[in-house]
Amino acid sequence: MFKNRTDAGHQLSDLLSDHDVTADLVLAIPRGGVPVGRVVATRLGVPLDIVSARKIPAPWSHELAIGAVASDGTIWLNESALAQFEIPDSYLATQVERERYAAGEMLARYRGDRSPLEVSGERVVLVDDGIATGATMTACARQVRNAGAESVVVAAPVAPPDTVERLFREADEVLCVETPPSFRAVGEFYEFFGQLSDEQVDAYLSHGS
C-alpha cells in the first residue's frame, strides 16, 4: 500500500536502486505518472520528460481497451479482442486517429514550449503510477523503442502479474514494487489517489516540486 504518489515514487526508486538501474532520462505518463516520475528522476539524477498514449475503446464500452495509440501514431492492438468482437476496420481507423490526436494534445499541453528530450541512444525509464491492462504503457514503450532508445525499463509501483509478463515483450526490464494476483484498479493500492490538476502536473514538470 502506498500513502500517495510521492511515497510510491520513493518506494519505486528504492526498487530501481536495488536492481542497479541506471538511466539517462525518465519519461512519465501524464497525469498520474508525473509525480512518481519526478521522484524517480530526482533519485536517479536525470531529467524528467513525458510520453503520451491513449486507449482505443471498444464500440460498446469506453472502459474496455482494444488497443492504444501513442502521440506519434505508434499503435498496440489487442488482436484477440479485435477478432473475437469483429471490430470494423472503419471504426478502428476513426478511433486511432481520434485518440492519437488527443495524446498529442495532452503532450503539447504539458510540455508547452519546452523541447522534447532526445531519446535516441539513451537509457530510458518509463514510469506510471500503476499499470492495469498495460495498453498505454505498451504503446509508449514501442514509441520509445522506435525512437531509438538504447534500453527501456518499465517501472511502476503496482501492476498485476500477467500484465508484467506481457510487458517483458516490450521492455528490457519491468520493475514493480507490488504485483498482486488480485487486482481490480490501481487506486485500491493507494491511501490517497486523488486527481491531479493541470497546475500540479506543470509544477512537477517545471520545478520538481
Q: What is the pTM of this model?
A: 0.94
Q: Where are the alpha helices (DSSP H) in 45-113?
A: 79-85, 89-111
Task: Check residue 4 and give its pLDDT.
Answer: 98
C-alpha cell at 136: 498505454
Residue 19 pLDDT more than 80?
yes
Tell me: the pLDDT tens digits for 120-136? 999 999 999 999 999 99
| Domain covering 54-110, topology | Ybab; Chain: A; (3.30.1310)
Numbered ranges of CATH 3.30.1310.20 in the chain: 54-110
Residue 95 pLDDT more than 80?
yes
Residue 82 pLDDT more than 90?
no
Residue 15 and residue 202 in contact, taking contact as beta carbons nearer than 8 Å: no
Numbered ranges of CATH 3.40.50.2020 in the chain: 5-51+117-207
Alpha-carbon gap, residue 168 to 154, rounded angstroms: 9
CATH of domain 5-51+117-207: 3.40.50.2020
Task: Check residue 117 and give its pLDDT.
Answer: 92
